[in-house]
Chains A and B, each alone.
Chain A
């Protein structure tokens, strides 16, 4: 199974900050990497697929990059509604696996 490791596990930031979350795969997954946002008590929301393609309706302050084993999710200017947990997910091979999550908290 492909292991996905996110860093950091938690992060404190302020509104307006630029934030970067990283995700590393245990083997190359090309660009088969998706990012989700989850708020407490809610279902996850797809933000980015194929490493860098923004899902319809997602604000442009979100961006993704990377290929192979190393990926990043960047939020260019944090908004109050962005405080949530973020998960990466590889869609390269089954079983599909997710990172452990990065909890983004208000400083």
Chain B
């Protein structure tokens, strides 16, 4: 059974940092592009970043470029999101999501999602 379990969320002050993690199981993690998608309270979905199977490529939405870094450790079946210089507008539930196809380019079709971890940026 495919499982994605996020952790690392919490309350942080503006300008602070947080590192999210996503533990994957039930599939060959190293074969899939992986993504972070966030959802502000009561709002819609926003794609944040993705990373290639071997970690050699990554892409970000403009609003987080230079502040967030996506990474992965295939030996640990884990995906990460390092978030620096956090702002109030980064407050959201952060989901990790798997690309639908393995051994493929990224088609941005997200077939499995974690339960999400809440990040609150407030003083």
**A contact residues around B61 at 8 Å (CB):** 94-95
Number of interface residues of B (CB under 8 A): 20
Flag the segment in B11-19, B71-79, B81-89, B107-115 that touches A: B107-115
- The answer to whether B109 and A46 touch across the interface, beta carbons within 8 angstroms, is yes
- The answer to whether B110 and A87 touch across the interface, beta carbons within 8 angstroms, is no
Known A43-B95, A43-B116, A46-B100: A91·B44 in contact at CB below 8 Å: no
**B contact residues around A46 at 8 Å (CB):** 100, 109-111
> Is B54 part of the binding interface, using a Cβ–Cβ cutoff of 8 Å?
no
Q: In the assembled complex, how far is the CB of residue B118 from the closest CB belonging to chain A, in whole angstroms?
A: 11
With beta carbons under 8 angstroms apart, the residue of B46, B108, B113 that contacts A43 is: B113
> Is B27 part of the binding interface, using a Cβ–Cβ cutoff of 8 Å?
no
With beta carbons under 8 angstroms apart, the residue of A49, A87, A95 that contacts B45 is: A87
A54-107 interface (Cβ within 8 A of B): 55, 87, 89, 91, 94-101
The CA-CA distance from A87 to B115 in the complex, in Å, is 17
> Is A52 part of the binding interface, using a Cβ–Cβ cutoff of 8 Å?
no
**A contact residues around B45 at 8 Å (CB):** 36, 38, 44, 87, 89, 98, 101
- The answer to whether B113 and A44 touch across the interface, beta carbons within 8 angstroms, is yes
* Residue of chain A at shortest CB distance from B63: A95
**A contact residues around B108 at 8 Å (CB):** 32, 34, 89, 91, 96
The CA-CA distance from A99 to B116 in the complex, in Å, is 20
Interface residue ranges, A against B (CB under 8 Å): 32, 34, 36, 38, 42-46, 49-50, 55, 87, 89, 91, 94-101
A-B CB contact pairs (8 Å), 5 listed: A34-B108, A49-B100, A89-B108, A98-B45, A100-B44
